């Protein structure tokens, strides 16, 4: 599924109206109808009644072959509510096209028998274009309207609220009546259905302004907006339904939209990943590749252990773990499937001299992963530069190896193979030279610009991990669980990605599929605990 910016959305809108000749009012009608259908479905779910006037009778029985087919007729089920009962929805309308969408929805709600009151944020006379046509149509239907600031209003008096205040044309924090209506709607305790995006959300970044609507449901129009898939926007949006309004999906494909949701379909078709993880009947451990891991130090040996075990669970044939020799006696037997390769250094820490040993080990392995539990040491920049420039396979870089990179001018380092960086937001901040808050403010934008600028595959971790490529594509992962915020969960991801690389997946495939599988395993592991707070990183490995 494509994920767009407000600017891209406007271009598709213009293209549909200008090139295809679909009138803007038709798109707005479709938007209004989609919003109304979702509100009606919500009313139906909470018990206002079943579908009225639908099948006359007997169709189900006929379908089972029990009785001969009889005449059957159905009404517009999605826009029908048998018993609207006490439903009374307040439609908050801004003066732009988002408001127009809400006004169109109001007519359909009214048709379904739901009581509706329009609440204009600005004087109705200030509406223009298609929104003004909608205003007039609603007035002609006799839908009651109040103007905020002029008429008395109690938002808690209704049974639900449609938020059609601000959409993709919003700029900065909501001002004046818009801000006051948003705050009052949130305080009303009534379910809020947002048109396109919650008002107060930055459609591109996921940043929520103060105030921002907290919706139960967002009816996103035509294409998923970037701001709806990144936190805190994703939380403000509630459940998101993307509804078609007549803007052809192919426009996004043709114009090369850069961001997609990482669904199984995108993995299978765009990234050509074999989701079945097929094993050949004749396969043997040599078929599935060999990971070299350089990780762990005396106080953080577990990080290496987690990565090594996760790589094996991801399906690679063999894992060799290079570790400071003093650790060796303690690690023996802790993961019998892992091969251990001690490198010189007496104190259980890494040292610059080990680069040659790691390089030698890497010569007969299919990929290399560096960083978990590595620690920092004198000469570590030169150590990493040698591995970066001389290793003859794809590389995954995590944890302290990222901190080494952050202190280096690595853009000038030469390289023969793809590199995958897997920073959490703190590590990303050090890499990009910005604050963590700045990273989180626009995760997709930053991940894309960094990956392109540095020529790396970037996995920006955290809820809804972003995978960005040097070619300027990004994928947003939605598997995962808050329980995964636990020490070592990232080390597990490094292991999974390298385990997939060793099996011959291309670097972007391994990064994206690895993040996806890691999240699925986290969900499964969380589901097995009485309380997901008890989840620890090793559980994720066992759930793979």
Q: How many alpha carbons lie under 13 Å from residue 158 in its C-beta half-sphere?
A: 25
* Burial status of residue 46 (CB atoms within 10 A of its CB: 0-12, 13-18, 19 or more): exposed
Q: Cβ of residue 230: shortest distance to ligand ADP, in angstroms?
A: 12
Q: Cβ of residue 279: shortest distance to ligand ADP, in angstroms?
A: 26
Find out whether 439 and 462 touch, Cβ atoms under 8 Å.
no
User: 491 among the known binding-site residues?
Assistant: yes
- Quick one: which of 432, 436, 443, 439 has its CA closest to 410? 432
User: 285 among the known binding-site residues?
Assistant: no
- Considering the complex, state which of residue 244 and residue 287 has its C-beta at the smaller distance from ligand NAX: 244
Helical ranges in 160-283 per DSSP H: 176-187, 233-236, 250-255, 264-265
88-93, strands of its sheet edge to edge: 145-147, 115-120, 88-93, 160-164, 192-195, 217-221, 239-243
Q: Which does 493 bind (CB under 5 to 8 A by kind): ligand NAX, K ion, ligand ADP, none?
A: ligand ADP
Q: Does 24 bind ligand NAX (CB under 6 A)?
A: yes
Q: Which does 440 bind (CB under 5 to 8 A by kind): K ion, ligand ADP, ligand NAX, none?
A: none
d(CA 386, CA 373): 19
- Quick one: which of 125, 85, 87 has its CA closest to 106? 87
- Span from 72-80, 139-147, 309-317, 457-465 in contact with ligand ADP (CB under 6 A): 457-465
- Considering the complex, state which of residue 228 and residue 432 has its C-beta at the smaller distance from K ion: 228
Q: Which does 482 bind (CB under 5 to 8 A by kind): ligand NAX, ligand ADP, K ion, none?
A: ligand ADP
Q: Cβ of residue 83: shortest distance to ligand NAX, in angstroms?
A: 30
- In terms of DSSP bridges, do strands 88-93 and 115-120 run parallel, antiparallel, or are they unpaired? parallel
- Quick one: which of 279, 270, 273, 260 has its CA closest to 513? 273
Listed in sequence order, the residues at least 6 apart from 353 whose beta carbon sits closer than 8 Å to its beta carbon are: 344, 345
Q: Left, alpha or beta for 193 (phi > 0: left; psi -120 to 50: alpha)?
A: beta
- Kindly report the backbone phi and psi dihedral angles of residue 354, in degrees, each rounded to the nearest multiple of 5, phi listed first: -80, -5
- Considering the complex, state which of residue 107 and residue 424 has its C-beta at the smaller distance from ligand ADP: 424
- Considering the complex, state which of residue 137 and residue 173 has its C-beta at the smaller distance from ligand NAX: 173
For K ion, the binding residues in 176-195 under the rule CB under 5 A are 194-195
d(CA 354, CA 345): 8
For K ion, the binding residues in 146-165 under the rule CB under 5 A are 163
Please select the residue that binds ligand ADP; options are 198, 345, 418, 490, rule is CB under 6 A.
490
Q: Which does 491 bind (CB under 5 to 8 A by kind): ligand NAX, K ion, ligand ADP, none?
A: ligand ADP
Q: Cβ of residue 239: shortest distance to ligand NAX, in angstroms?
A: 18
Q: How many alpha carbons lie under 13 Å from residue 353 in its C-beta half-sphere?
A: 6
Q: Per 3-state DSSP, what percentage of the chain is helix, strand, and coil (rounded to 5)? A: 45, 15, 40
- Quick one: which of 464, 458, 467 has its CA closest to 482? 464
Please select the residue that binds ligand NAX; options are 2, 37, 38, 101, rule is CB under 6 A.
101
Q: Which does 202 bind (CB under 5 to 8 A by kind): K ion, ligand NAX, ligand ADP, none?
A: none
Q: Which does 237 bind (CB under 5 to 8 A by kind): K ion, ligand NAX, ligand ADP, none?
A: none
| DSSP bridge pairs for 261 | 476
Q: Cβ of residue 497: shortest distance to ligand ADP, in angstroms?
A: 10
Q: Does 493 bind ligand ADP (CB under 6 A)?
A: yes
- Span from 76-84, 279-287, 483-491, 528-536 in contact with ligand ADP (CB under 6 A): 483-491
- Span from 12-20, 42-50, 406-414, 475-483 in contact with ligand ADP (CB under 6 A): 475-483
Find out whether 446 and 420 touch, Cβ atoms under 8 Å.
no
Please select the residue that binds ligand ADP; options are 489, 496, 508, 525, rule is CB under 6 A.
489
For ligand NAX, the binding residues in 60-99 under the rule CB under 6 A are 94-99
- Span from 25-33, 38-46, 136-144, 282-290 in contact with ligand NAX (CB under 6 A): 25-33
- Kindly report the backbone phi and psi dihedral angles of residue 175, in degrees, each rounded to the nearest multiple of 5, phi listed first: -115, 160
Q: Does 169 bind ligand NAX (CB under 6 A)?
A: yes
Find out whether 232 and 207 touch, Cβ atoms under 8 Å.
yes
**Residue with smallest beta-carbon separation from ligand ADP:** 490
User: 437 among the known binding-site residues?
Assistant: no
Q: Does 485 bind ligand ADP (CB under 6 A)?
A: yes
Q: Cβ of residue 492: shortest distance to ligand ADP, in angstroms?
A: 7
Torsion sign over Cα 387, 476, 503, 301: positive
Query: DSSP label at 173?
Result: S
For ligand ADP, the binding residues in 390-429 under the rule CB under 6 A are 399, 424
- In terms of DSSP bridges, do strands 115-120 and 145-147 run parallel, antiparallel, or are they unpaired? parallel
Kindly list the residues in this chain that would bind ligand ADP in the complex (CB under 6 A). 399, 424, 461-463, 465, 480-482, 484-485, 487-491, 493, 518
Binding-site positions for (6S)-NADPHX read: 97-101, 167-173, 178, 196, 303, 373, 424, 491
Kindly list the residues in this chain that would bind ligand NAX in the complex (CB under 6 A). 13, 24, 27-28, 31, 94-99, 101, 130, 166-175, 178, 195-196, 221-222, 245
Kindly list the residues in this chain that would bind K ion in the complex (CB under 5 A). 163, 194-195, 199
């Amino acid at each position: 599924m494509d994920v767009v910016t407000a600017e891209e959305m406007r271009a598709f809108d213009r293209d549909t109206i200008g090139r295809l000749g679909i009138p803007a009012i038709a798109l707005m009608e479709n938007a209004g109808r989609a919003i109304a259908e979702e509100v009606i479905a919500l009313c139906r779910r909470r018990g206002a009644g079943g579908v009225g006037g639908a099948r006359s009778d007997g169709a189900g029985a006929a379908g089972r072959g029990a009785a001969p087919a009889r005449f059957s007729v159905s009404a517009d089920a999605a826009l029908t509510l048998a018993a609207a009962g006490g439903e009374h929805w307040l439609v908050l309308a801004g003066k732009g096209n988002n408001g127009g969408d809400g006004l169109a929805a109001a007519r359909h709600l009214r048709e379904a028998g739901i009581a509706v009151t329009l609440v204009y944020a600005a004087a109705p006379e200030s509406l223009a274009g298609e929104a003004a046509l909608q205003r007039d149509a609603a007035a002609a239907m006799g839908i009651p309207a109040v103007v905020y600031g002029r008429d008395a209003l109690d938002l808690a008096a209704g049974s639900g609220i449609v938020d059609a205040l601000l959409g993709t044309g919003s700029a900065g924090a909501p001002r004046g009546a818009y801000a006051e209506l948003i705050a009052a709607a949130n305080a009303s305790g009534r379910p809020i259905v947002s048109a396109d995006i919650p008002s107060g959300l930055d459609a591109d970044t996921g940043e929520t302004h103060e105030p921002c609507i907290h919706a139960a449901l967002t009816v996103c129009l035509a294409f998923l907006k970037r701001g709806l898939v990144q936190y805190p926007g994703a939380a403000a949006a509630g459940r998101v339904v993307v509804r078609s309004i007549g803007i052809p999906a192919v426009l996004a494909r043709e114009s090369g939209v850069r961001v997609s949701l990482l669904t199984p379909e995108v993995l299978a078709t765009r990234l050509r990943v074999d989701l079945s993880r097929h094993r050949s009947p004749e396969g043997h451990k040599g078929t599935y590749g060999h990971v070299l891991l350089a990780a762990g130090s005396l106080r953080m040996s577990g990080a290496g252990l987690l990565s090594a075990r996760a790589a094996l669970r991801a399906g690679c044939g063999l894992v060799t773990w290079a570790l400071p020799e003093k650790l060796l006696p303690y690690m023996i037997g802790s993961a019998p499937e892992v091969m251990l390769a001690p490198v010189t250094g007496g104190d259980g820490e890494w040292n610059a001299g080990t680069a040659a040993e790691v390089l030698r080990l890497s010569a007969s392995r299919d990929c290399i992963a560096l960083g978990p539990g590595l620690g920092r040491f004198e000469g570590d920049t030169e150590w990493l530069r040698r591995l970066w420039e001389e290793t003859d396979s794809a590389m995954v870089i995590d944890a302290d190896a990222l901190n080494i990179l952050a202190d280096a001018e690595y853009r000038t380092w030469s390289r023969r193979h793809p590199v995958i960086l897997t920073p959490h937001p703190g590590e990303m901040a050090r890499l990009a030279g910005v604050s963590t808050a700045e990273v989180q403010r626009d995760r997709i934008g930053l991940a894309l610009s960094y990956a392109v600028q540095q020529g790396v595959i970037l996995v920006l971790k955290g809820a809804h991990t972003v995978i960005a490529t040097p070619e300027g594509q990004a994928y947003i992962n939605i598997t995962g669980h808050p329980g995964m915020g636990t020490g070592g969960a990232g080390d597990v991801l490094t292991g999974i990605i390298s385990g997939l690389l060793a099996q011959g997946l291309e670097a972007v495939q391994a990064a994206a599929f690895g993040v996806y599988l890691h999240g699925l395993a986290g969900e499964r592991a969380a589901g097995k605990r009485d309380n997901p707070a008890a989840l620890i990183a090793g559980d994720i490995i066992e759930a793979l």
